[in-house]
Amino acid sequence: MKPSSDSSSMPLLVCQHCTKSYGTTIALADVNLIASAGEIVGLAGPNGAGKTTLLHSIVGIIRLDQGTIQINGLNRTSPSAKRLIGFMPDNLPRPELLTIEEMCRVNCTLFSQPFDREMIDELADVLEIRDRLREPLAGLSHGTCRKADLMAALATRPQILILDEPFSGLDPLMVDRVVMLIKAHADAGGLVLLSSHDLEITAECATRVLMIQSGEVQGEFAHSESQFTLRQAFRDMILAES
């Protein structure tokens, strides 16, 4: 499950002065982020803080008002840059008439990557859905669909894996399996950027965590800092806004 491209000394992701507003609502306010191969960067913050907006800006779902995003030194809009990204969205429409396997095949075609039957079977075994690969998404549970979303993101062997609420809808055993896959991706030289409301799991797997509130990065915590420190900082940040 190693990423398809070799990492270099250049940062894989550079976000500079990212700004986005919806009318009078500021979703991102001059956000900067530099992340390199081997990192797992967590985004934490309350609902509406700007986490998903930042992820959607990186993958190209929304357009920034100001700022730039580079993927391995390339402009985010270039086809070569897009092929380096694997994205697991949260609450976006799925192609429900497709099976899990078909969705993975379509992703590979869109990103000009070969479909790796062996890798897909390995992922399906880890996530315990080998017997569901040929079932349409429309008939699957929320948790199984979340596993399918992750498989589709990994199917193209991306350098940068972007995960929006990857632990949502999963039981504790599957959360452990997803954490294992996340760590394996980073250990193989990839970059993982994830957003989650689960501070405990985020603190466990991330090399660093950015606290986001009202579209701004309010603080950063390294993996060595305790879960209590991260949770307390989250509470303090919310109380400061109230």
pLDDT at res. 242: 57
CA distances from 58 to 18, 93, 182 (A): 10, 19, 19
CA dist., res. 61 & res. 123, Å (int): 26
pLDDT at res. 10: 83
pLDDT at res. 7: 45
**pLDDT by residue for the chain (242 residues), tens digit each?**
557 554 456 899 999 999 999 999 999 999 999 999 999 999 999 889 999 999 999 999 999 999 999 999 999 999 999 999 999 999 899 999 999 999 999 999 998 899 999 999 999 999 999 999 999 999 999 999 999 999 999 999 999 999 999 999 999 999 999 999 999 999 999 999 999 988 889 988 999 999 999 999 998 888 666 555 666 766 666 556 65
| pTM listed for this prediction | 0.90
- The CATH superfamily holding the domain 13-90+158-241 is P-loop containing nucleotide triphosphate hydrolases (3.40.50.300)
Q: Which residues contact 209 (CB under 8 A, 6 or more apart)?
A: 41, 42, 43, 44, 202, 203, 220, 221, 230
Q: How do 25-35 and 160-164 pair as beta strands?
A: unpaired
- Count the neighbouring beta carbons within 10 Å of the beta carbon of residue 77: 11
pLDDT at res. 91: 85
Place of tokens 């799925």: 94
